[in-house]
Structure 1
Amino acid sequence: MPRSSALIVTKDNHLIEATYMLSLSEQRLLLLTIARIDSRAILQPGICHTITAGEIADSYNLPRDQAYELLIHVAERLYERSVVICNPDPDRPDVSHLRTRWVASIRYLPSRGAIELIFAPAILPFLSQLKRKFSSYRLEHVAPMTSIYAIRLYELLIQWREAGTRTVEIDWLRERFELGDKYPNIRDLKARVLNPAIEQINAHSDLQVRWEQHKRGRVVHALTFIFGPKPAPSKPDAQPSVPAKSKTAKPKLTRAYVERHAQPGESWEEAWERCRRQIEQESSG
């Protein structure tokens, strides 16, 4: 199995903006499983996905025994988890919300140090046959994160990576994170949710993020996140500059490249064609 540096997580944007709460172990298992799915293909109901403790350990840089315990924990609780997706079907505007489990079944295989997972049928349209309004990122960019809110916030931001800014209402964010009555004071929300999430995104992902708050009177009601790709690290022993006639290697137009550079609202075909034109222009420029 490829390491996390080669695994791409792709989700429908409705699923990224859904309301749910998952533990870190549950997040990690689901993200690893999703990264193994071809998001363009048809994912039939009942397909079994086998994840081993070894794959968990390799993807998240964990000791084998810790990865084994992770699987046990997930097998006990993930089946009970649900997710609420707003306006799930453009062909059914009368449906305002969809509530579904993440998985239809989980089987634990102790002799193999593995579990077998089958996704719930209602979740499949948000993971497969994705042609528009989806977002993708490398699993390695969230694999080291230990804050469940850091992973969620990172996903909410990469939807808008081309814009480099996103403003959200605090009540909307609290609902998406299923905070309930937790951290009603903005000071507690910053200390327990926002600051740790931003610190981990800046430390581990490909984004550099800062944020601003907006007030109505004396009450903070919204946040604006400003973000962009991290600058390439400078090399201490820099080599002489490359002659002007040398050209940067032409990027390869692959599925992974298109998914990383897709913009919100684009279909798969639109994203592919735009990336193709951009590569051609950069190569001839």
Structure 2
Amino acid sequence: MSSLTDTYEKKYPENWVVMQNRIEQCFHKMTLDEKRLLILASPTARMIDASEKDAIEVTADQFANECGIKVSSAYKQLEVASKNLLNRSFSYINERGKRVGVTWVIRAVYEDGYISVCFPDEVLIMLKAFDASNPFTKYKKENVLLLKGEYSIDLYHIAKKYEGMTTFQMTLEDYKLELGLPKSYNRINNLKARALEPAIDEINEKTDINITYENVKRGRTVTGLKFTVKPKAKTQKTLEEKRDPHTADMFTIDGLSDAQLARITRNERFKSDYNHLIPPTSHINQDPNLWVDEMVSRIKKEPGFFNKKRPIREYLEN
């Protein structure tokens, strides 16, 4: 692996998802929860420079919290997703011209409250090696994991790949191929109503970008789609709208400063209540400052979640 690739490996923090573009072509075969599991596991694989022997852990609480689902159903969804990936495979041609078949996951262990998976080298390379020979796409976890539409994650990944170009075009055939659309979507009206506009609407509502599109025609026939991708302005209003409406004013009312939030995250009682959110193998657990930064960020994003076990001000009093 080149030094250039090594530089890319180290430059992205844990809240960024970075994947080779080759993964995009496999996404459309996966269920929503399989995509979520891969997205959650990918930063850990990169940060610890995982090998086939390294088990990458995802907790049910983490899965529920980051994907906006109930904890009571998260473990089962994780279990099903990992079993699906164990049975799912892809292939490539090796340097001797032979076709090689590879499963996405080579081992999965189901524990109390979390699962751990081991990826083969071929998958790990797609999650770790980024350079001119291995083009890649990056985005923040928080901007993709709340997407629930059948094709939303796929279109978001494509849009982020071309975001720097502002506009890009795809033929209808390429669009159907990238998203793995069935023949029933050959009719343009059906494709737009089920596999294009709902995904655009959800992406525009929940993520950091806005997508618009227009038809590309040859005569009267639509032959492709031209997309425009623009980043959203980061306004205070946008940040407030993402909070739970019942708890959005909590920190305004309580008047908690960043320094107080940092003190809260250092509290042993707080750590006991919430250390399950960070996988045991994460590098965050090795550096107290990284733990504080990560947890303060999470509290700010989802204050209601951290007010369930006990009023958050109690951690200042102990």
After TM superposition, the score normalised by the length of structure 2 is 0.63
Task: Kindly state the Cα deviation for residue 53 of structure 1 after the two structures are TM-superposed.
Answer: 0.6
Residues 158-197 of structure 1: pairs in structure 2 closer than 5 A: 158-197=160-199
1:191 and 1:98 map into 2 onto residues whose CA distance is: 38
* SS of 1:226 mapped into structure 2: strand
Residue in 2 that maps onto 1:47: 54
RMSD of aligned Cα (Å): 2.7
Q: AA paired with 2:232?
A: K
Asked if the contact 2:55–2:116 (Cα under 8 Å) also holds between the matched residues in 1, the reply is yes
Residues 86-105 of structure 1: pairs in structure 2 closer than 5 A: 100-105=102-107
Mapped pair 1:135 → 2:142: no
Asked if the contact 2:45–2:56 (Cα under 8 Å) also holds between the matched residues in 1, the reply is no
Task: Kindly state the Cα deviation for residue 46 of structure 1 after the two structures are TM-superposed.
Answer: 2.6
2:155 and 2:230 map into 1 onto residues whose CA distance is: 14
Q: AA paired with 1:105?
A: R
Q: Which has the higher contact order (CA 8 A, sep 6+)?
A: 1
Structure 2: unaligned runs, 5 residues or longer = 1-12, 238-318
Task: Kindly state the Cα deviation for residue 64 of structure 1 after the two structures are TM-superposed.
Answer: 0.9
Task: Kindly state the Cα deviation for residue 61 of structure 1 after the two structures are TM-superposed.
Answer: 2.5
1:219 and 1:80 map into 2 onto residues whose CA distance is: 41
Q: 1:55-83 CA deviation, whole Å, 9 max, x = no partner?
A: 11121232210212212321332222234
Structure 1: unaligned runs, 5 residues or longer = 236-285
Task: Kindly state the Cα deviation for residue 180 of structure 1 after the two structures are TM-superposed.
Answer: 3.1
1:226 and 1:99 map into 2 onto residues whose CA distance is: 37
Task: Kindly state the Cα deviation for residue 151 of structure 1 after the two structures are TM-superposed.
Answer: 0.7
After TM superposition, the score normalised by the length of structure 1 is 0.70
Asked if the contact 2:45–2:124 (Cα under 8 Å) also holds between the matched residues in 1, the reply is no
Asked if the contact 1:19–1:84 (Cα under 8 Å) also holds between the matched residues in 2, the reply is no
Residue in 1 that maps onto 2:17: 9
Between Structure 1 and Structure 2, the one with more helix by share is 2
Q: AA paired with 1:107?
A: V
Q: AA paired with 1:136?
A: K
Residue 93 to residue 33, structure 1, CA distance change in 2 (3 Å): same
Residue in 2 that maps onto 1:23: 31
2:186 and 2:117 map into 1 onto residues whose CA distance is: 36
Which structure 1 residue ranges, 4+ long, deviate > 4 Å from structure 2?
92-95
Q: AA paired with 1:159?
A: K
Asked if the contact 1:211–1:224 (Cα under 8 Å) also holds between the matched residues in 2, the reply is yes
Task: Kindly state the Cα deviation for residue 149 of structure 1 after the two structures are TM-superposed.
Answer: 1.2
Residue in 2 that maps onto 1:74: 81
Structure 2 residue corresponding to 1:65, chosen from 68, 72, 75: 72
Q: 1:88-119 CA deviation, whole Å, 9 max, x = no partner?
A: 88xx6978x8764321222222xx12222111
Aligned residues: 223
Q: Percent identity?
A: 26
